[in-house]
Amino acid sequence: MADAFTIHWFRRDLRLDDNTALFHALSSGHPVIPLFIFDREILDELPQQDARVDFIHRRLSEIQTQLTALGSSLLVYYGKPEEVWPQILADYPVVAVHTNHDYEPYAKTRDEHIGEFLAGQGVSFMTWRDQVIFEKEEILTGAGGPYTVFTPFSKKWKAMLTEERLASFDTESLFGNFFPTEPLAIPSLAEMGFAPSQIAFPPSIADPEVIKVYDQRRNFPAIPGTTRLGLHLRFGTISIRKLTRQARLLNETYLNELIWREFYMQILWNFPHVVSGPFRPAYAAIPWRNVEEEFNAWCEGKTGYPMVDAGMRELNETGYMHNRVRMVVASFLTKHLLINWQWGEAYFAEKLLDFELSSNNGGWQWAAGCGTDAAPYFRVFNPESQLKKFDGKGAYVRKWVPEWETPAYPNPIVEHKFARERCLAAYQSVLKK
Ligand code: FAD
């Protein structure tokens, strides 16, 4: 065994190519142990059938195949990081640990604790920007504060972009620096109390034909007009630098969507109160109705509004929902049913393969009208007009709601005009005081 190792700690950067922290670890001069921890702090909260755990497991097996071909192996643990790290240091003479930034509140606290522990053991803990092009407080207003409105943020983002920022990290040329070993075992899903999922995962391919015409096709849920890369951006199975280079060449609207992702990440970082309540505090007082039967009808796709029902059934079956439909179902829950947006946010968090705390929270707060760059609350989506406009022939709805337009289909749970007025009255009751 070597007398000093460097560790690369994988979290949401599950790839060997163009990986910032991995590049720096491989350049460190010591053999590199690639590590993954199945974190019980996260896993213990999840249902047994969580497709995302299956996705991570499959992805680690693919990385293991790549590393085996290089004569190395992943080192995989199942446990709580604070318990696993002392064990690692007892087993290996580690001098440095490299990892990529994770901006979510739990991850931030975890990394602070692990960083302190490692420092106490004389091990350096080096962390890097990898999952975004600009992070934390890198994009600031002229006055020096974080942006809370998307358009000026995106302008500044584009103005600050350089070729250097988008350059890939050439990890491949350093692959000889992984520690040599026979393959080490990865805990099975069953050993961790999980079952494989029946959901088919989309490939991690950024199809240039989709991106080229993204602006023309992205709003129609019946056609494959979006890239389905959310899951891969979530777990880092695609490089944001490569994808941004492609977006910049092919389609400005697509590039803007990638910037929306970063906009919400920096909102989460700079305004962490959004995790537990509205960005605009006045909205905390909205008199939500929170009727459980209505919430259940929404979850099951039985509201009698075809676009809402199609979206919820697509989500339940596939772990995905088209963006246009996410906006419609979120608006319906919060405005038509007057159910707290946080109920919907939690349901999406459980079901979405591409669940991202920052974007999900941002999307829900936008829909409820209480977020940063929110649509004004008096703009209430009409689910029937949305259907006519974006699924005029009903192809999307028919796919997910086969009984639509038959007597078996439920009547609308609430009448649109009545719901709209009830919503405006509820919002005005707290906002006009
Ligand atoms: P594409 O349209 O191909 O876009 C490419 C990528 O750009 C996406 O994968 C995503 O990373 C990013 N992106 C696109 N639109 C947005 C957006 N409006 N906000 C932030 N990033 C965006 N996105 C998530 O990644 N995770 C979530 O948990 C999530 N929850 C949402 C909840 C609500 C209520 C709403 C209205 C939107 C939510 N979104 C979320 C944003 C958006 O709906 C998804 O990113 C998109 O539908 C994913 O499909 P795609 O990969 O085909 O995206």
Write the pLDDT tens digit of every residue in 63-105.
Answer: 999 999 999 999 999 999 999 999 999 999 999 999 999 999 9
Q: Would the CB of 263 count as within 6 Å of ligand 1? A: no
Q: Would the CB of 330 count as within 6 Å of ligand 1? A: yes
CA 193 to ligand 1 centroid distance, Å: 30
pLDDT of residue 370: 93
pLDDT tens for each residue of 154-186: 999 999 999 999 999 999 999 999 999 999 999
pLDDT tens for each residue of 330-344: 999 999 999 999 999
Q: How confident is the model at residue 374 (pLDDT cuts 50, 70, 90)?
A: low
Q: Rounded to a whole number, what is the distance in angstroms from the first to the last CA of the chain?
A: 70
pLDDT tens for each residue of 279-298: 999 999 999 999 999 999 99
Q: Would the CB of 364 count as within 6 Å of ligand 1? A: yes
Q: Would the CB of 347 count as within 6 Å of ligand 1? A: no
- Report which of 278, 274, 292, 354 is spatially closest to residue 321, judged by C-alpha positions: 354
What residues act catalytically?
Answer: 257, 260, 288, 323, 341, 364
Q: What is the chain's length?
A: 433
Q: Would the CB of 374 count as within 6 Å of ligand 1? A: no
Q: Which atom of ligand 1 is nearest to the CA of 218?
A: 2
User: For ligand 1, atom 52, which residue shows the shortest CA distance?
Assistant: 228
pLDDT tens for each residue of 27-54: 999 999 999 999 999 999 998 889 999 9
Q: Would the CB of 351 count as within 6 Å of ligand 1? A: no
pLDDT of residue 130: 98
- Report which of 397, 369, 383, 376 is spatially closest to residue 336, judged by C-alpha positions: 383
pLDDT tens for each residue of 306-321: 999 999 999 999 999 9
Q: Would the CB of 202 count as within 6 Å of ligand 1? A: no
pLDDT of residue 97: 98
Q: Could you tell which of 258, 323, 365, 390 is best to mutate to test the pocket of ligand 1, judged by most ligand atoms within 8 Å of the CB?
A: 323
User: For ligand 1, atom 16, which residue shows the shortest CA distance?
Assistant: 257
pLDDT tens for each residue of 412-424: 999 999 999 999 9
* Residue 373 predicted with pLDDT over 90: no
What is the C-alpha separation between 246 and 263, in angstroms, rounded?
Answer: 19
pLDDT tens for each residue of 209-253: 999 999 999 999 999 999 999 999 999 999 999 999 999 999 999
What is the C-alpha separation between 318 and 185, in angstroms, rounded?
Answer: 30
User: For ligand 1, atom 15, which residue shows the shortest CA distance?
Assistant: 257
Report the mean per-residue pLDDT for the chain: 97
* Residue 188 predicted with pLDDT over 60: yes
Percent of the chain scoring above 70 in pLDDT = 99
* Residue 21 predicted with pLDDT over 80: yes
CA 399 to ligand 1 centroid distance, Å: 22
Residue indicated by tokens 């890239």: 227
pLDDT tens for each residue of 120-160: 999 999 999 999 999 999 999 999 999 999 999 999 999 99
Q: Which atom of ligand 1 is nearest to the CA of 322?
A: 47
pLDDT of residue 433: 57
Query: What's the average model confidence in pLDDT over 197-207?
Result: 94
Q: How confident is the model at residue 2 (pLDDT cuts 50, 70, 90)?
A: confident
The model carries a pTM of 0.97
pLDDT of residue 128: 98
What is the C-alpha separation between 320 and 298, in angstroms, rounded?
Answer: 16
* Residue 376 predicted with pLDDT over 90: no
